């Protein structure tokens, strides 16, 4: 089953601002989520962030949600890891 990727303009801007090499890695990783939304490198977040998944790429994080019932992967945020990485998700 192939999932549809939902990427907002804000997330697209976040990706576009990444350094060249990292931008390409993030784009490849996001594209791969359409075929496997739960790769081995993904981790489901817990507690108040339940329902969100995270993939680590060096100092960057791809945060996303999976909607199996409508076959959509929604990319919520692509950001450099900081203490505020998950602020605003809940």
For the chain, the domains span 4-80
Main-chain phi, psi angles of 46, to 5 degrees: -115, -175
Which band of pLDDT confidence, cut at 50, 70 and 90, is reported for residue 89?
A: low
Check residues 86 and 66 and name the one with the higher pLDDT. Answer: 66
Which band of pLDDT confidence, cut at 50, 70 and 90, is reported for residue 54?
A: very high
Global confidence as pTM:
0.87
pLDDT mean over 27-32: 97
3: left (phi over 0), alpha (psi -120 to 50) or beta: beta
Q: Name the class of domain 4-80.
A: alpha beta
């Amino acid at each position: 089953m192939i999932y549809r990727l939902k990427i907002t303009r804000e997330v697209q801007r976040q990706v576009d601002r990444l350094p060249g090499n990292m931008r390409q890695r993030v784009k490849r990783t996001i594209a791969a989520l359409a075929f496997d939304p739960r790769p081995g490198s993904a981790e489901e977040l817990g507690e108040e962030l339940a329902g969100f998944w995270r993939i680590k790429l060096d100092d960057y994080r791809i945060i996303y949600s999976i909607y199996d019932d409508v076959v959509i992967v929604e990319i919520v945020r692509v950001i450099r890891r900081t203490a505020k990485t998950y602020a605003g998700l809940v």
